[in-house]
Structure 1
Amino acid sequence: MKIFWYDDNKNNFNYFEEIIKDGSIDQTSLIQNIIDSHIGEEIKVPTGTYLITHLNIPNGTFLRGEFNTIFKSNLNSNIIRILSNVNCIIENIHVLGNNEIIRPSIKGNQVGWYLDGCLSVTLNNCSASGCNDSGIKIKNTGAQSAPQYYKIPILNNFKAYKNYIGIKNDVRGEYSQLNGCIAGENYIGYFTGGGNNMASNCQFNRNQNGARVVGGTTDGINYPNNSHASFTGCQFNHNIEESIRFENVEVGYMLNGCQFFDGDMIFKGKTKGVVINGSEGGTWSINSDSKEQNMIANSFFYTKPSGNWNTTIIHKNNIGSGAIIEDNNSPSFNEKSLIFKSRYDLFKTSNRGINSWKSGGPYIFWGSKDIVVPPNKYVGYILVRLE
């Protein structure tokens, strides 16, 4: 039965009038039939909770939910399936899994949105929660396929919360864009093992672990063509254990204008070519067991790095107990050689509080070599915090 209404100068048909919207009875076959029968049309899904097992999204689908449109499923597998060569647009749909738990630590098999081999998929204002594998998982979107340079998965304002992994770019999950996405209260906010992905203006906050960027063989899984991707203007704040971890990243990662507060920052395994630029943070620790070169540049951190930083380029920063002025040999030091000549005693009123400063510093260091600058002397071009 079709009910016609007039809305914003468009003719829309209510295909959901007879669908049960209180989440009490499985409506999978009815909803799947509506989708399959109206490819190429805009299908409006009214507000409500729709109990399903799973849905297969065919090529040419355009689904548009309203406020609080929910697809609920108890299936311990992939719920919304967008598979090979599918182009579609889906808006304002929330997928609700079995159990919404804050930062769940036990992994299962339930995936809210499952994208495998798809093409031009755009998800606008969609979300997922309560899934014990991933809120959204993206796979095989860049296996040397020419269309993937211009037909890519795009997530605009996607929200993932209370999942094991919020957003996951799995094996060959490449060439996707995350714009304004939020992952919070997951065990891992964002996990990526695919290359060429771009995340901008996203928040990965209040997870157990903010983000993990992996490559090579990690935890027994091979992630080919990983890394060489970017975070721009993203937050990694108030995560419980790790702010961000780079593990076996093979060919670099670029982070510009990001914030890291709380949680460890870790460079692990064969990670190389990670560049963090114009960023700031107050992480628990910055640690590297990688023997490859990575860079933190033009950034301000309250934490002194540890581990194999003698093989890591760190250039013109303030990290922990001092500002790293050069990455090679120590230059001669005197007051006249400093760039801006700002006085140390003025810095004691930093908004981090007077109690966070010690007398007798700060330390200007080049690699492992420290030079102590007495109080009330010029200390250079960047503020310092002493531990």
Structure 2
Amino acid sequence: MPGILPHSPTAVDGPKQKLGGYELYRTVLGSPKFVVAPMVDQSELAWRLLARRYGAELAYTPMINAKMFAGGVHKNYQEQNFNIPNGEEGGPLDRPLIVQFCANSPDQLLASAKVVEAHCDAVDINLGCPQDIARKGHYGSFLQDEWQLIYNLVHTLHRNLAVPVTAKFRVFETVEKTVEYAKMLERAGAQILTCHGRTREQRGHNTGLADWAKIRAVKEAVSVPVFANGNILYHSDIARCLEATGADGVMAAEAQLYNATLFALAPSADPAFDAGLHLPHADLALEYLSIVQGLKTRTPISAVKGHLFKLMRPALAREKDLRERLGKIKGAACIEGYIEVAEEMKRRMDRDAREAEGLSIEELVTIEPTTGLKVLPHWLAQPYFRPLPSEAGQNSCTYTFM
């Protein structure tokens, strides 16, 4: 519990050259407002590069298992998850960058963090993953009742790394416990806190709304920068989140996967609608595939396929043959197969867009009946959301944010 934990000042008391807190945020990271979340098998190098083209100012790697990364449990795990030798991961085009690990052993975490410390701007500890694999592996949000262990994980990196340590966590049921938890992380040495405004139980169809009030309470209680995570679908949600939470930046996860341009402003946007940029999803898919082809770093095929299904989702339900083709592509030439599907999708979407020429995007938008949210034309990248099971089929604005 927090009362028995030793005190550690907020300012970094480790190596003198290491910046922390707002010095880290401003001087090293460039005061980022738009942050791409760490996402398993989805925030890989190719996607980070695409995101940076469209306004992302800071990116995290996918979550890396510290036990597997440093321990050599699985052959090639390091190369597959953070390929250092070829110079692309953590290279000039991939900065600023924070590498995220999950762990339950301070020694294993430190060993893994030491491998990447020269190739990133900070190391983050995942304290928020709510999935069953995190329960089985005893990491993520399933550590949140073990405050002494969490303190030791953070403080070990704080005292021994050449770069700062940060932490991403989920809230508790009460504001009071959430705030005490955040203060403990700060005392342990975390130099940036990312607060996901959902509890551990809020996942899948039970995701529901993130609690921005709890994020604001955390922001007001600590003296290090805070990123807010949760309830972002459109670009216009970012300003609302920053105002409601007082956070220093907004981290987006799945909303950014469905619309890689989430952080970008449209050249001539109508603020009353949404100031965000919504490009044709097939164009984004082809741009992403071009990045994949141009890298020396191998992008996992599972990541590529996942991105394509998310990006082109608005049309895949209509173009069922393309959805089937996309799902069946396998083998050494799968990237070429994906390109063929994306090119065919582009031809069909260009056709549909031409048929709607003369109509403004505002005229083409429809309203999803169970959520009251805007649905854009099916050829444009856009968020995905679903009503909660209890709300399905009802005229309710309760829905799952990605």
Higher RCO (Cα < 8 Å, 6 or more apart): 2
Task: Determine which structure has the larger helix proportion and give its number.
Answer: 2
Provide TM-score, normalisation by structure 2.
Answer: 0.25
Larger radius of gyration: 1
